[in-house]
Amino acid sequence: MDTLKASFSAGCFWGVEQEFRQVKGVVNATVGYSGGHTQAPTYEQVCAGTTGHAETVLLEYDPALVTYDQLLDKFWELHDPTTLNRQGPDVGEQYRSIIFYFNEEQKLAALASRDREQKKLNRRIVTEIIPAVAFWRAEEYHQRYLEKHGGAAHC
């Protein structure tokens, strides 16, 4: 099986990871940090807002079972893409909305998906759509956090 990658930031990565793990065709979901300027940041550094990173989920998926467009639909469903640097009670640039694309096809799909979502919401979407950059795996205790500790999908 050949898998592809997708990467999204949509607020607290615990809930985003848990939701994507339930999508048939998602082979793996890893939480971490991306989009910033600090090498190998820690959770504490990211939470302090000094690294520029966002809490991010890196997916490996089987394109025979789930399409990138379906993953984009799930991304929009999981959060409010019209709030800048905030999701629910979580505030800070580490909670901003981002689609990281790995190739031109993903970029075009993300832009088209955003435009469709924009028409539905009738409010300005602030989601960044940018090339995939370094992804720093979060500390082990963050991986599958809600699965290990229980809790709602949206933290």
Catalytic positions:
12
In contact, 81 and 117? CB cutoff 8 Å: yes
Structure tokens at 133: 């950059």
How many Å from the N-terminal Cα to the C-terminal Cα in the chain?
33
**Residue (of 76, 40, 34, 80) closest to 57 by Cα position:** 34
- The Cα–Cα gap between 28 and 76 comes to 19
